[in-house]
Amino acid sequence: MKLLVFAGSTRQQSFNRQLARATADLAHAHPGVEVTHLELGDFDIPMYNADLEAQGTPADVMRLKQIGWEHPAWIICAPEYNASYPALLKNTLDWISSPVRADPAWQDGFKSTRGKVVGMLSASPGALGGLRSQSHLAPLLMNLHFWVAPTTFALGRAGDAFDAAGQLADERARKSVQTVIDQVVWAATRFQAT
């Protein structure tokens, strides 16, 4: 099972990037799972613009589409900006789901997302841990034809949540993240079998 893990942030000290790294490390220990930990900062993705798209879909967008298509299981660590998910994450998903009209292999905009199982995590310095971001993100993911895992986790007080090695310091938090990983992998495995 191929599992894609990424955070909707490129900020150097992002708690959600830390959470994505810790999640990928936990997932590596899962039997039979091949983990891809993706950093959005490694991709040159402009703000979505249909006029720009008409000139040709950017090469890094095509790379992202391919990576998404190759992974039946996803985990997204979503920051919370003004009680919702950030523009970077929306922009990334908008590009991934936009059809490439000139390319027969990518004319279906949902090719990278349809039927994929996605788990939601979030981290925030506040007590709610980014929970409001998840509440807005879930309908967007369903609109993109993802199967959204019902178990989620929001890491509150994230400034104190990681140890010196960047791992989750609290055993309960690790178990909560592991539960999301397990559910996403379990569901994606069954969907692939049908």
pLDDT at 128: 92
**pTM, full prediction:** 0.96
pLDDT, mean over the chain: 96
pLDDT at 193: 73
- How many domains are there within the chain? 1
**53 by DSSP, 3-state: which?**
helix
Q: Which of 123, 147, 130 is nearest to 21 (CA)?
A: 123
pLDDT bracket for residue 192 (50, 70, 90) = confident
pLDDT of 150 over the 90 cut = yes
pLDDT of 194 over the 80 cut = no
CB atoms within 10 A of CB 165: 8
Q: What is the domain-level CATH number for residue 162?
A: 3.40.50.360
Return the percentage of the chain with pLDDT > 90, whole number. 96
Cβ–Cβ < 8 Å for 161, 122: no
Average pLDDT, integer, range 122-148? 96
Average pLDDT, integer, range 146-173? 96
Q: What is the pLDDT of residues 26-80, one digit of tens each?
A: 999 999 999 999 999 999 999 999 999 999 999 999 999 999 999 999 999 999 9
179 vs 66: CA distance, rounded Å: 27
Range of the domain at 135: 2-193
